Structure 1
Amino acid sequence: MELIHLRILLALKQSGTLSAAAEQLHLTQSALSHQMKNLEQRLGVILWRKQGRLLILTQAGKYLSDVAESVIATVDSAEQHLALLGAGKTGKLTVGIDCHACYEWFRTILQPYLLAWPDLAVEVTSRYRFNSFEAIRQYKLDAVLTSDPAFNGVLHYQPLFDFELVLIVASRHRLAGRGFIEPSDLQQEVVLTYPVDRERLDMFRKVLQPAGIEPLNHITVEETDIMLQLAASRRGVCLLPEWLMAEKADKLPLDSLRFKNLPLTKTMYLATRHEDVALEYIQGLIELASNKPDKTAVHGSL
């Protein structure tokens, strides 16, 4: 039994005549009749009888037409869903966050993205933070927000926006108010960072290690909000994106500083598989994420 047989029975049930069913299915009457005679011979049952110009379904025909109604509806729905998947209009998108500080910014674009793609299931996770690129290759993730790309040709990295890292200190800190500072100014400081290996931390790989500086102490903190509160109470200093200061600027006594002759500009990327870049919901995410975070628009708890 083939789908065409079920479509013919369903068309006959709906129209009642051979000519109408043939027109609905874009078949000739003889081709339609031939298909059904072959099916009757294979099944060993009569599916319809003629009554004047009408075709009356037998008990077997009525049963199979009911089956056809259910099966065809399921098949049509599946075809529509697959067409939408192929066009990138629906499906599931699992986004990995490879940047601790990115959550607050991503939260500002997540709601408009969900509203723009109501049929798309979206999951945001940091589960694969230390092996996120491999997780994309293994189809555990579909995209990763990162500021530390690995340009090896395996994944596609779409640049989103540039941002600057600044040193955040308490407003009453000895360094506060300076125009510019030097890496050597941190030699007697407690450095606050996320719990990441030193080779992945910009504070060490871009500021301290090139200058041969070892801080007084190094404390790891998982939550950005806690890190900022520690900095505000002069328990340490931290290097974070400038836009993260915005929401806490009027709530915590903090100051942001830049290093002299040491630009700390980075680029945020969306990493995806090459074959997924053209999907509409990926392009939609890129379009939203390409708007650089407004220094005054980062909301929610840091």
Structure 2
Amino acid sequence: MSTALELRHLRTIAALVETGGVARAAERLNLTQSALSHQLKQLEDQFGLSLFERKSQPLKLTPAGQRLLALSDQVLPQVGDALRDIGRIRDGAAGSLRIAVECHTCFDWLMPAMDEFRPRWPEVELDIVSGFHADPVGLIHQNEADLGIVSERDEAEPVHYFPLFRYEIVALLANDHQLAGRTALQAEDFADETLITYPVPDDMLDVIRQVLRPAGVQPRRRSSELTVAILQLVASRRGVAALPEWAVAPYLERRYVTARPIGEQGLFGELYAAVPPSRAGLAYVEDFVDTVRATCASSLPGISLL
């Protein structure tokens, strides 16, 4: 049997199995759904066999698909190792990654990504610049950080931005709150509430910058450093909050609080990794970004890779 089996086909099979569907697999691979479906059909036509059972949810592999998955499990890690080795030869194996973050919830996914990255690059010194930082890019310019996690790209800044992922920010309410019966919350719904946030500048809060301020709504305010403390206050009817859906997913599954979209189209945020241009092409920096994207895509519900 002769066929043009490529690495991209193995990556497609692996992504389909890991995500359980075409839509999320396409996001993972930065493809449109139609492009991914076309790629899969071409491969099936070449083999003359189906690789997945149609209309199964989640997707279920046929014996032919299982064989390709086994091949991808064997080949793709070896390809990754080889590429990292080539990067070490080109750039050297040692270096530093001092990471500064501007979001309180970033540690939930940053630590697993660092744990995944560390054994691949044992010579790279990983460190987190302690505390919350309103201006990680400023720390990069002061040579106090090598990489910053930021929510916006400022094209005027002389840094390189790696896109990470997009996520929805939802309103959080006590289960018996009168607004819990709404399908979505509008700016005016916050007017008579106490908004509970992290203690950060208002310009860093999407719900204020994108929703409340343009509508002229200024609710009462309260702040807390910890996500769980914010949720406890919400559950006890001390106020409402607006947090990333992925950050509160376990509490929503337990029905600890209720979540509702903000606005008819929803409220969304984005995250980027900022690095000095001189470091953007380093193999271990690129691999760290790839590791973050991969671990987040597989573990954070409801996000989409940028």
If the length of structure 2 is used for normalisation, what is the TM-score?
0.65
Q: Distance in 2 between matches of 1:171 and 1:125?
A: 37
Q: Distance in 2 between matches of 1:256 and 1:178?
A: 10
2:287 corresponds to? 284
2:208 corresponds to? 204
Q: Distance in 2 between matches of 1:85 and 1:233?
A: 57
Percent of residue pairs bearing the same amino acid type: 29
What does residue range 56-67 of structure 1 map to in structure 2 within 5 Å?
A: none
The alignment status of 1:241 with 2:240, answered yes or no, reads no
* Partner AA of 1:288 in structure 2: T
Q: By how many angstroms is 1:129 displaced?
A: 0.5
* Partner AA of 2:167 in structure 1: F
What secondary structure sits across from 2:251 in the alignment? coil
Residues 259, 131 of structure 1: CA spacing in aligned structure 2 closer, same or farther, 3 A cutoff? closer
What secondary structure sits across from 1:93 in the alignment? strand
* Partner AA of 1:211 in structure 2: A
Q: By how many angstroms is 1:295 displaced?
A: 4.1
Q: Distance in 2 between matches of 1:297 and 1:213?
A: 28
The alignment status of 1:256 with 2:259, answered yes or no, reads yes
Match of 1:160 among 160, 164, 170: 164
What does residue range 76-87 of structure 1 map to in structure 2 within 5 Å?
A: 87=91
Q: Distance in 2 between matches of 1:266 and 1:249?
A: 19
Q: How many residues align?
A: 215
The alignment status of 1:221 with 2:224, answered yes or no, reads yes
CA RMSD of aligned residues (A): 2.4
C-alpha contact 2:169 2:269 (8 A) present in aligned 1: yes
Moved more, 235-244 or 104-113: 104-113
* Partner AA of 2:268 in structure 1: T
Q: String of CA shifts for 1:45-86, please: whole Å, max 9, x gaps.
A: xxxxxxxxxxxxxxxxxxxxxxxxxxxxxxxxxxxxxx9597
- Structure with the largest fraction of helix: 2
Match of 1:93 among 65, 89, 97: 97
Q: Distance in 2 between matches of 1:286 and 1:243?
A: 19
Q: By how many angstroms is 1:198 displaced?
A: 1.8
Q: Distance in 1 between matches of 2:88 and 2:293?
A: 25
Q: Distance in 2 between matches of 1:119 and 1:262?
A: 45
Q: Distance in 1 between matches of 2:241 and 2:111?
A: 22
C-alpha contact 2:199 2:225 (8 A) present in aligned 1: yes
Q: Distance in 2 between matches of 1:209 and 1:282?
A: 37
Q: Distance in 2 between matches of 1:208 and 1:88?
A: 49
Q: Distance in 1 between matches of 2:149 and 2:204?
A: 15
C-alpha contact 2:149 2:273 (8 A) present in aligned 1: yes
| Structure 1, unaligned runs of 5 or more | 1-82
Q: Distance in 2 between matches of 1:255 and 1:115?
A: 39
Q: Distance in 2 between matches of 1:172 and 1:277?
A: 49
Q: Distance in 2 between matches of 1:252 and 1:127?
A: 31
C-alpha contact 2:171 2:185 (8 A) present in aligned 1: no
Q: By how many angstroms is 1:165 displaced?
A: 0.9
The alignment status of 1:174 with 2:182, answered yes or no, reads no
Q: By how many angstroms is 1:251 displaced?
A: 4.4
Q: String of CA shifts for 1:12-60, please: whole Å, max 9, x gaps.
A: xxxxxxxxxxxxxxxxxxxxxxxxxxxxxxxxxxxxxxxxxxxxxxxxx
Q: By how many angstroms is 1:115 displaced?
A: 2.2
Q: Distance in 1 between matches of 2:229 and 2:160?
A: 34
Q: By how many angstroms is 1:131 displaced?
A: 3.0
C-alpha contact 1:101 1:240 (8 A) present in aligned 2: no
What secondary structure sits across from 2:208 in the alignment? helix
If the length of structure 1 is used for normalisation, what is the TM-score?
0.65
Residues 88, 204 of structure 1: CA spacing in aligned structure 2 closer, same or farther, 3 A cutoff? farther
Residues 262, 202 of structure 1: CA spacing in aligned structure 2 closer, same or farther, 3 A cutoff? same
Residues 258, 210 of structure 1: CA spacing in aligned structure 2 closer, same or farther, 3 A cutoff? same
Which protein is bigger by CA-based radius of gyration? 1
Q: Distance in 2 between matches of 1:128 and 1:105?
A: 15
| Structure 2, unaligned runs of 5 or more | 1-86
Q: Distance in 2 between matches of 1:181 and 1:253?
A: 19
Moved more, 153-162 or 84-93: 84-93
